[in-house]
Amino acid sequence: MTLMAVFAHPDDESFGIGGTLARYSDDPDVRVVLLCATRGEAGEISDPGLATKERLAEVREAELRCAVEALGVDELLLLDYRDSGMAGTDDNLDPRSLNMADFDEVVGKIVYEIRRIRPDVIVTFDPTGGYGHPDHVAIHYHTRAAYSAAADPCRYPEQLQGGLTAHQAKKLYYTAIPHRFFVAVAHRMQEMGMDVPQRYLDRLEGPFGLPDGACTTDVDVEGYWDAKYKAVTCHATQLHPDSIFATLPPEVMRGLQNWECFQLAVSLVGGDEGSHDLLAGLR
């Protein structure tokens, strides 16, 4: 069995579904592959002593490799696009960015890896990208298109001349932090007498994360939270002083993140009713 996760930036894999990646990496019958579209060079830097803007891509790739090792991921792939930055920034218009890349070109690169790796299950962001980041939204649509195109021998036929064959993954999942998580974080911080950062208050009102009812498959990752936390701490440049990982004690975060939420978008093997396994119906 092979599980393939497709995300936009270093840290997407850890903050979002690190527990799930660690859980399946720990299964001897499952191979886990992570594809990351950029090196996150437009990100903020939590501590100027950790990196400069000029070296941020290099530093964040090293952080990603640290996280991949912590999670036990079997293979890491990079697509080499530039981080597009947050919505409304000049980075959005950089011709090297994922945001500006030709849609069919990006899809073709993902199709190539799907045909080479031949995953049973693919995971990517939901259509909102979790919180609307242009690259998160873009990689959702690229991956959704690639899921179908990889199975069609008429799409990107030049790949087949090199020995690859069309491949149909059996399931496609979307992941995002469910709305209930933001509610729980705000409630816990208030209980502890802490000020809730405005961005979390905004997420209680805005269209952030998956609606709670959209989570078809909650994966129990309590036993893998330590691996997730270790992977998160690898991304030191992205651990800002007011982030929940920096402000809330690890034991509190463990209680808030013992499940990870997925929405089954496409399945050729039936639904996930009553299951907490992304490989349900496949084994």
Q: Which pLDDT value is given to residue 255?
A: 92
Choice among 45-59, 112-126, 201-215 with the minimum mean pLDDT: 201-215
Q: What is the average pLDDT across 168-175?
A: 98
Query: Which of 31-35, 188-192, 255-259 ranks highest by mean pLDDT?
Result: 31-35
pLDDT band, residue 37 (cuts 50/70/90): very high
Statement: residue 206 has pLDDT above 70: no
Q: Which pLDDT value is given to residue 176?
A: 76
How far apart are the C-alpha atoms of 47 and 56, rounded to whole Å?
12
Statement: residue 122 has pLDDT above 90: yes
User: What is the bridge-based pairing of β-strands 217-220 and 259-267?
Assistant: antiparallel
Burial class, 193, CB count within 10 angstroms (exposed 0-12 / middle 13-18 / buried 19+): exposed
Q: What is the average pLDDT across 61-66?
A: 99
For the stretch 35-46, what's the b/e string if a residue is b when 16 or more beta carbons lie within 10 angstroms of its beta carbon? bbbbbbbbbebb
Amino acid in the structure at residue 158: E
Closest CA to 12 of 39, 48, 32: 39
Q: Which pLDDT value is given to residue 28?
A: 98
Burial class, 164, CB count within 10 angstroms (exposed 0-12 / middle 13-18 / buried 19+): middle
Strand order in the sheet with 75-81: 75-81, 31-38, 2-7, 121-125, 171-175, 259-267, 217-220
pLDDT band, residue 208 (cuts 50/70/90): low
How far apart are the C-alpha atoms of 125 and 257, rounded to whole Å?
18
* Percentage of the chain modeled with pLDDT above 90: 75
Statement: residue 221 has pLDDT above 70: yes
Q: Look over the chain and give the mean of its residue pLDDT values, rounded to a whole number.
A: 93
How far apart are the C-alpha atoms of 1 and 283, rounded to whole Å?
9
Please list the helix, strand and coil fractions of the chain in percent, rounded to the nearest 5, in that order. 45, 15, 40
DSSP code per residue over 62-83: HHHHHHHHHHT-SEEEEEEEBP
Q: What is the average pLDDT across 207-221?
A: 84
* Percentage of the chain modeled with pLDDT above 70: 98
77-93 residue pLDDT tens: 999 999 998 888 888 88
Statement: residue 6 has pLDDT above 70: yes
Q: Which structural domains are found in the chain, ordered by start?
A: 2-177+214-243 (3.40.50.10320)
